[in-house]
Structure 1
């Protein structure tokens, strides 16, 4: 069933009023008519609604959706700034895999640099990508997407999380197979996790030392070297398996 994320003011009692983008999608793309049902979500609460006729498009709430597809742990992805298509892939697929938030950060080896003049256009596009991915994958919540920050500011946020994991290529090269497994194996339901992935050239030795000294667990991700856009998806998949499928 098609899903739409709305604002609180769009629901009054048992009546739902759609915004223009959602209405256009319902009428033009889905070609739905009066009597058809969709799911609307507001602040993590989702309802099955029946479409009515009229301008603007409205619907009536029928019942509350009971299925919950959110991960039992809150995973924030700190992805170093990379080329636009790679970052957008991480946002889209990371949302499908259950990420709760995304924090782009400026790493030493990031080819892409932050440009405040362009950022005002990028952030709305990033938020649109995660919103559409959340609708497609049946999420209850749309992940938060933050403006890019520096590594020092990222480290200052470590205290917000129960566990910080950083993918580090050098750990994989020396055959590390335990750090990621052991850290995740002790992770309980309701905990918060920050996963950190460097840019195309990886984290520098200096960055890795600072992250480790500040409490991050430096992890190898198996015997193969993963691309920057693959690593966070691997980590999210492993966390999903551990917290959702293996229990």
Structure 2
């Protein structure tokens, strides 16, 4: 059954008003009619709804019942990616959403070839947010992960203090045979904890960037013995978090 994310103010007296692209998708793409069912997610809650009314611009859906779901990671994981080339960030956000990331925080790393254009940035961010929303619908998430506007490395350092733990994927640790830091960090987390995972762009993070992150309490670690691409490493990390907390737990 199709799933849509709606804002709190769209819910009034157990009736949800759906507008814009979602209403168009319901009527023109899915060709739903009065009485058809859909899921609506409101601020982390999921409702089974029945379409009550369709107009030229809106769809009104009556809440039939609220559904109890456990489809979010027990820990909140923010993926901080050094700006990569091409459409790699779109891939990270799409697949990272499917794997349960709570937020995405791109940043300008020393080795980032791409330079964020503030004038064009708003449209790019809108596209990334749309990708996250569609991926959340497809994967039956209860929440759409946040997609932040890219920040500087200095801002990233400051933001990292707000998390319960921060790990840095660093290939030099893999080369030196480090195996336990990632698992050890996960062992120290509890349900509801906030984890920041930092990844470099193509070419990785510099030694100086890793040093500064370490000074803020971040833990450099390897993600296995192989060197992963910038778009692969976040997916590996999210899969490992899911396995640890959802399958082993």
CA distance in 1: counterparts of 2:125 and 2:46, whole angstroms: 25
- Structure 1, unaligned runs of 5 or more: none
1:9 is the counterpart of 2:13: no
Q: Which residue of 1 aligns with 2:29?
A: 29
TM-score, normalised with respect to structure 2: 0.96
Q: Secondary structure at the residue paired with 2:54?
A: coil
Q: Which residue of 1 aligns with 2:69?
A: 67
Q: Which residue of 2 aligns with 1:235?
A: 237
Q: Which residue of 1 aligns with 2:133?
A: 131
CA distance in 1: counterparts of 2:54 and 2:131, whole angstroms: 29
CA distance in 2: counterparts of 1:14 and 1:179, whole angstroms: 47
CA distance in 2: counterparts of 1:84 and 1:242, whole angstroms: 32
* Residue 54 of structure 1: how far off its partner (Å): 2.9
Residues 1-247 of structure 1 correspond to what in structure 2 (within 5 A)? 1-55=1-55, 56-247=58-249
- The two structures, once aligned, show a CA RMSD in angstroms of 1.1
Superimposed CA distance per residue, residues 188-217 of structure 1 (whole angstroms, 9 cap, x where no aligned partner):
211110000000110011111111121110
CA distance in 1: counterparts of 2:158 and 2:66, whole angstroms: 39
CA distance in 1: counterparts of 2:161 and 2:119, whole angstroms: 30
* Residue 124 of structure 1: how far off its partner (Å): 0.7
Q: Secondary structure at the residue paired with 2:229?
A: coil
CA distance in 2: counterparts of 1:111 and 1:236, whole angstroms: 25
TM-score, normalised with respect to structure 1: 0.97
2:107–2:152 contact (8 Å) kept in structure 1: yes
* Residue 52 of structure 1: how far off its partner (Å): 2.4
